[in-house]
Amino acid sequence: MMEHVRTSTLKQIGLASLTALALAASGLAQAQQAQPQKKYKIYLSMFVSGGGWITAASNSIKALAATPPYDKTVELIEVISGPEPQKQIAAYESMIAAGADGIITLPGSFTALNRTIKKGCDKGVVFFTFGLTVSERCAYQVQAITNGFGENGGQLMANLTKGKATILANHAFPGGGADKRHFDGFLDAIKKYPEMKVVARTWGNAADEKSQAEAAKALAAHPTIDAVFTQPGELGIIKAFQAVGKDKLPIVIGEGGNGFRLALADPEMRKKGLNGVSSGGTPAEAAFGFKLMMEVLTKQRTMPFRQVAYPLPWVTADDVKICTGDRPKDGCNTYPKDKVPDTFFVSIMDRPDLLPELSLTAVLEGKPTPGATIQKITWPLEQQPPSPGVNCEKCTAPKDQFKVTKVKAFDAK
Amino acid sequence: MKSFLSNEDKMALALLALTALLIFASGWISPSLGSWNQVRSTLVLSTFVMLVGFGQQTVMLTGGLDLSVPAIVTLGAVALFSWVGADPAALTWGIPAVLGLCATIGAINGVFVALLRVPPFIMTLAMGMIVASALLGITGGSPRGEAAPAVAFLFTGEWLGLPPVVYLMAGFTALALLWQRHSGFGRMVYAVGTSAEAARIAGLPVARVTVLCYAISGASAGAAGILYVGFSGGATLDTGTDILIPVIAAVVVGGTSIMGGRGSFLGVVGGALLLTTFSIMITAIGMSAGWRAVINGGVILIALLTLQENIRAWGASKLRAFGSKRCLGVIGSATTVKRKTS
């Protein structure tokens, strides 16, 4: 009897305990459900603002951060620090102190930011750079710089001019590893053509107006210029040729401005000799870098290396195809004038396979593409080769660093 | 006898002569230099500096400085490109509206400087930052719009081998000179710059003059922005970025005193043409950006030093002394010869 009572008491205690455990577990589960999902605090740090390239980069990151599921899991804060490295250092310091999980940045200096970046890395902050580079090895970098804009552009120019050209080289800003890498590659490609000569060099600050004014000065001194290797500012260069009443337009190896691509597609301009390619760096590096960073932070990806080579945009005059909708479809790569400004850096849309979340709404306004969700990157990442002054300080570039990959030389045997 | 030309006019003419000499002599740098093409490029490219320089000089004549001009140039360009567009009918109200907007921003500078005694460089620097930031916010970084063909025609059209903008600038220069020398307001500007206190005692509306001078600077910068749209067929947030240093250099090289009260627009025209010519020559040499900047800075420094009134006076006195010594020497030897022969 007593045993029965003990047994039933034990049963009761057991049942009560189970009930209590179940209740506790359910409460815990409810508490867990009520607890908000982890929000990643991501900072977008730019050292300058404005301009087609930077606006497209910034807007695309904002749009991706607002695209599901990141709209619920990412808190994005943009900080524009100003061109002096010390201001960007101070901005990084504040971000690290504020508990940043990741900092995606257009860095304003190759070396000056290193110490702060290292400090952040040591505290677990994930750093991603785009556009320009830093020499600190703990930072992840996503750029197209080492993918051969200069050498491929130089060879295409040689092909289009049959190895005979009087050339204007219009740089973006004085100094900088990317600029040097592009120009060195270009010179390497044209060195085997003795009749191709760079007669003038200008610095157009990556802006159409400045490039136009500088090109006008160069044309006053060298009216025989018939080919141009240029960083952003291509349309300004073409206008400088038109302004001096030149009937013949040049071969232009330029970057990704929509106005430039429209000019390349213009039959009247083509008749006057305009030809070339739209290539160079692309703000898509920023959007792709953000996606990569989030995959690293959410542990969806382990990076086998830290320097990622973004594919080089390459749209020749013959390849320009005008889009009708807001998203790049059926191989279109350029938008009508009434849809985007001339300065719109359309090369951001060149790889819809890598960035299917982007549309004009996203890049122009920084708003998510309606109906889009973040797609996991399936493209096999490519590593940047070492390039002194671009992605490393004391390193040796491979012997074939200026290998031409996009075009075949017209005189190749 | 009082000279028909003032010292400022003589300096301006000297600058113009030096410019012509440089263009003529620049052929040895590049065979293509010294051509009509170079003259045309020089005239067109210096237009913007002259126009903004007029406003900057007007402010400097009162003893002030306007550092907001790059942002206001950009504002003028963006306002015309994005908000007025290409419709010819819209230009009739659009251009005055843009000029009015830019003049108003300049006037706000003037109010703070004249009435609230904010130092000009602080006020105009702050205003420049406010305008630039507002433009970034409003446009989202990339202004969209359309360039008016009528404004573009100023640069693409041609009359007697020159684009219309050159004739427009020549007319503007004549009017500006008349205004500076023969209008009551022009004289008041010089009076305020020479001594604001004396001008106040003389009953001149010093504050009103100062405010209007800053408004003129704003309007001039806005007008340059409008011309930039014609020149480049568009506008970006970088449109006016690089104009400040060339403008201040042209104004000061042209003989305008930074202390106020002295200077002529003809000097600004001469300074702008001279510096643009140098700039083209430096581009022709094809040197790296660093050395180019060193030469640019050196040229401005040399020009400023040689054009300083006290240094010119010192040079002139040395020349006179050298001339009289030679004269004395000649007279002395002539006397000796005469003595010997006698």
What is the β-pairing status of strands A315-316 and A275-278? antiparallel
Would the pLDDT of B84 be above 90?
no
Q: State the number of CA atoms in the 13 A half-sphere of B28 facing the CB.
A: 3
Once rounded to an integer, what is the mean pLDDT over residues B44-64?
95
Would the pLDDT of A378 be above 90?
yes
For chain A, positions 323-352, list CB contacts with chain B under 8 A: 340-344
Q: Provide the pLDDT for residue A221.
A: 86
**Is A309 or A10 the better-scoring residue by pLDDT?**
A309
Once rounded to an integer, what is the mean pLDDT over residues B115-141?
92
Shortest CA distance to B193 belongs to which of B179, B210, B168, B177? B210
Q: A334 forms bridges with which residues in the sheet? A: A322
Would the pLDDT of B77 be above 80?
yes
Task: Kindly determine whether residue A365 and residue B143, on different chains, have CB atoms separated by under 8 Å.
Answer: no
> What share of chain A in percent tops pLDDT 70?
91
For chain A, positions 257-276, list CB contacts with chain B under 8 A: 259
Once rounded to an integer, what is the mean pLDDT over residues A370-386?
94
Q: Which residues contact A61 (CB under 8 A, 6 or more apart)?
A: A44, A76, A104, A286, A287, A290
Q: Smallest CA–CA separation between A238 and chain B, in Å?
A: 10
Peptide bond into A69 cis (omega under 30): yes
Residue of B142, B231, B273 to mutate when probing chain A, most A C-beta within 10 A: B142
Of the candidates A51, A209, A217, the beta carbon closest to that of B232 is on A209
Angle between helix A208-221 and A234-243 (nearest 10): 40
Q: Smallest CA–CA separation between B60 and chain A, in Å?
A: 26
Token output for B104: 């108003």
pLDDT band with cut points at 50, 70 and 90 for residue B74: very high
B298 and B50 Cβ atoms separated by less than 8 Å: no
> Which residue in chain A has the smallest CA separation from B289?
A174
User: Tokens 């043409």 belong to which residue?
Assistant: B273
Shortest CA distance to B52 belongs to which of B312, B268, B318? B268
Size of interface A-B (CB pairs under 8 A): 137
B231 contacts chain A (CB < 8 A): yes
> Which residue in chain A has the smallest CA separation from B285?
A200
Task: Kindly determine whether residue A171 and residue B289, on different chains, have CB atoms separated by under 8 Å.
Answer: yes
User: Tokens 């000009």 belong to which residue?
Assistant: B120
DSSP H stretches of helix in B255-308: 265-285, 289-307
pLDDT band with cut points at 50, 70 and 90 for residue B40: confident
B236 contacts chain A (CB < 8 A): yes
Task: Kindly determine whether residue A210 and residue B238, on different chains, have CB atoms separated by under 8 Å.
Answer: yes
> What share of chain A in percent tops pLDDT 90?
71
- H/E element holding B246? helix B244-253
Token output for B225: 């922005």
Would the pLDDT of B1 be above 50?
no
Q: ipTM, 2 decimals?
A: 0.75
B232 contacts chain A (CB < 8 A): yes
Q: Which residues contact B331 (CB under 8 A, 6 or more apart)?
A: none
Summarised one tens digit per residue, pLDDT across range B190-239 is 999 999 999 999 999 999 999 999 999 999 999 999 999 999 888 888 88
Once rounded to an integer, what is the mean pLDDT over residues B273-279?
88
**Is B6 or B341 the better-scoring residue by pLDDT?**
B6
> Which residue in chain B has the smallest CA separation from A208?
B232
Shortest CA distance to A207 belongs to which of A341, A109, A75? A341
Residue of B139, B236, B278 to mutate when probing chain A, most A C-beta within 10 A: B236
A239 contacts chain B (CB < 8 A): yes
Q: Provide the pLDDT for residue B235.
A: 87
C-alpha B209/C-alpha A22 separation (Å) is: 85
Task: Kindly determine whether residue B232 and residue A242, on different chains, have CB atoms separated by under 8 Å.
Answer: no
Once rounded to an integer, what is the mean pLDDT over residues A240-267?
92
**Is A277 or B324 the better-scoring residue by pLDDT?**
A277
Task: Kindly determine whether residue A220 and residue B32, on different chains, have CB atoms separated by under 8 Å.
Answer: yes
For chain A, positions 115-154, list CB contacts with chain B under 8 A: none
> What share of chain B in percent tops pLDDT 90?
48
B100 contacts chain A (CB < 8 A): no
Once rounded to an integer, what is the mean pLDDT over residues A139-161?
95
What is the DSSP secondary-structure string of A132-155? S--S-TTSEEEESGGG-HHHHHHH
B52 and B271 Cβ atoms separated by less than 8 Å: no
Q: Which residues contact B156 (CB under 8 A, 6 or more apart)?
A: A242, A243, B163
Shortest CA distance to B250 belongs to which of B304, B330, B186? B304
Q: Provide the pLDDT for residue A3.
A: 47
C-alpha torsion sign, points A69, A72, A74, A80: positive
Q: What is chain B's mean pLDDT, rounded?
A: 86
**Is A286 or B292 the better-scoring residue by pLDDT?**
A286
pLDDT band with cut points at 50, 70 and 90 for residue A2: very low
Once rounded to an integer, what is the mean pLDDT over residues B39-53?
93
> Which residue in chain A has the smallest CA separation from B293?
A174
Q: Smallest CA–CA separation between B33 and chain A, in Å?
A: 5
What is the DSSP secondary-structure string of A37-96? PPPEEEEEEES---SHHHHHHHHHHHHHHTSTTHHHHEEEEEEE--SSHHHHHHHHHHHH
Summarised one tens digit per residue, pLDDT across range B284-327 is 777 777 787 788 788 778 877 776 666 666 666 777 777 666 65
Once rounded to an integer, what is the mean pLDDT over residues B144-156?
87
C-alpha A76/C-alpha A74 separation (Å) is: 6
Long-range contacts of B19-26 (CB under 8 A, 24+ apart): B19/B270, B19/B273, B19/B274, B19/B277, B22/B274, B22/B277, B22/B278, B22/B281, B23/B277, B26/B277, B26/B280, B26/B281, B26/B284
Summarised one tens digit per residue, pLDDT across range A111-127 is 999 999 999 999 999 99
C-alpha A368/C-alpha A74 separation (Å) is: 13
Q: Smallest CA–CA separation between A361 and chain B, in Å?
A: 13
A24-28, A74-78, A136-140, B96-100: which has the minimum mean pLDDT? Answer: A24-28
What residue type is A22 in one-letter code? Answer: A
DSSP-derived letter for residue A164 is E
C-alpha B154/C-alpha B94 separation (Å) is: 17
Of the candidates A203, A223, A243, the beta carbon closest to that of B155 is on A243
Q: Which residues contact B111 (CB under 8 A, 6 or more apart)?
A: B211
C-alpha torsion sign, points B80, B82, B87, B89: negative
What residue type is B316 in one-letter code? Answer: A
Once rounded to an integer, what is the mean pLDDT over residues A136-150?
93
Q: A105 forms bridges with which residues in the sheet? A: A45, A129
Summarised one tens digit per residue, pLDDT across range A152-207 is 999 999 999 999 999 999 998 877 788 889 999 999 999 999 999 999 999 988 88
C-alpha B68/C-alpha B127 separation (Å) is: 6
Once rounded to an integer, what is the mean pLDDT over residues A216-239?
92
> Which residue in chain B has the smallest CA separation from A215?
B283
pLDDT band with cut points at 50, 70 and 90 for residue A5: very low
A58 contacts chain B (CB < 8 A): yes
Once rounded to an integer, what is the mean pLDDT over residues B61-72?
95
Token output for B260: 């106020």
Q: Smallest CA–CA separation between B30 and chain A, in Å?
A: 6
Q: Smallest CA–CA separation between B227 and chain A, in Å?
A: 11
Would the pLDDT of A11 be above 80?
no
What residue type is B248 in one-letter code? Answer: I
